[in-house]
Chains A and B, each alone.
Chain A
């Protein structure tokens, strides 16, 4: 069974790149374009994702809000979260890790690096 990844990104090009790279490794990618849709999708699927990759600055709700909600859940399996953002200043990175982010990648990313980090986290969290 392939791993299910939720990609939250409002940029037009980045999701296309990630989808193609991750799809090559047979991960199942679901893409939403803003925080509100992400919350909706998480509720609808009862948080049935193996990994979440999110941007920070997005309409309706930021990546930090998604991260915070995912990491403060008391029931259900823990879900690793990777933040991918071009707003990678020191405060933001620290804030992300404080809220429980498992990894932080600054845009532009090296596709191979992203793939390795995704694989590592999925292995670490013992995904399906």
Chain B
């Protein structure tokens, strides 16, 4: 039975809409399947080409770099001549093959260092593969830029500030992270200069990423973070710098952190108190106590924690008052923890509290005394 255009015109509107919808859906499904198949076929072809090229690259690198006797001796890497000509194979005129060579060079550099690592970098430069990476930096596609940044930073190639700094503030999360990573790794003198140009808030995830980069990158020039604590208008940068001050135990930044106690932003103030507590800044204890009553709850909790961390033993009575008379549960909990932290000066008090406290307070004390619970 045939269904003609005439029948279509004659059918009701609902049927017509349904038929059009079915045709569109079937067409899109076919296109989707075709594009998946094409993609897989291309990937298969690429894998096949790479499978035959990788052994060639491996052999070249092994013979001329890794098993090079001159490099194994005491001769400096830059004085050993590279046999560039053997790497100038016709296949490397193709972009995909050059990319495979770059990727392999990076793989090797991730595994070997010293003179051989240096020679891998020299090879990358002498084969002008750095130009390929720089070309990708100019691409409009963010993933190409990320790839280029990874290549250049792995090969320890410098990138002009004017090119990389705007990328550290990109709206694309991946690109932003790659640019910051590259900047920290490549900038010898001022790896944190991009803090000056960050206009958007540094999200918690960004901070975690940055922290990971900073703690895993070797030989970073650590600046005085007080400069951003004092001058940055970006609150998240200030907050992150406070954490870095703690991480690097940067005592010289304490005056800048103390000034921050007067900021109107209560979250930043809490971060500053946290920082001072972790740096065990005993000189600031009295000021913290003076400001305690006028502070919002988050700052009060940080003050209690700071007194516990500093553990000077001078403010045990204050902690006792807060523990016994505060109505807020968190205040009592942090006061108890800080009393326990000051136990070298509060042994008698702790015994007394264990004897006389209410059932709930006893529970808090017991919890605070558990050494397995991180303070």
A: residues with CB less than 8 A from B are 11-14, 16-17, 20-21, 24, 86, 107-113
Contact = CB atoms under 8 A, between A and B. Distances in A.
A111 B58 CA distance: 16
Interface in B130-168: none
Contact of B111 (A24, A108, A112, A113): A108
Interface of B: 58, 62, 66-67, 72, 104, 107-114, 116-117
B114 A12 contact: no
Given A20-B66, A20-B67, A107 B58 contact: no
A112 B72 contact: yes
B111 A110 contact: no
A10 B110 CA distance: 14
Nearest to A86: B110
A24 B72 CA distance: 13
B72 A13 contact: no
Contacts of A17: 62, 66, 108, 111-112
Given A111-B116, A112-B72, A13 B111 contact: yes
B72 A108 contact: no
16 contacts: A13-B104, A14-B111, A16-B58, A17-B66, A17-B108, A17-B111, A20-B66, A86-B110, A107-B111, A108-B111, A108-B112, A108-B113, A108-B117, A109-B111, A110-B116, A111-B114
B66 A111 contact: yes
Given A107-B110, A111-B114, 15 more contacts: A13-B110, A13-B111, A16-B62, A17-B112, A20-B62, A21-B67, A24-B67, A86-B110, A107-B111, A109-B111, A109-B113, A111-B66, A111-B116, A112-B114, A113-B114
A113 B110 CA distance: 16
A13 B66 contact: no
Nearest to B215: A89
Contacts, number: 45
Contacts of B108: 13, 17
Interface secondary structure of A, over-half rule: helix
Nearest to A18: B111
A125 B324 CA distance: 65
B111 A11 contact: yes
Contacts of B117: 108
B107 A110 contact: no
Nearest to A109: B112
A72 B58 CA distance: 38
Contacts of B107: 12-13
A109 B104 CA distance: 16
- Max count, chain A CB within 10 A of own CB: residue among B62, B104, B112: B112
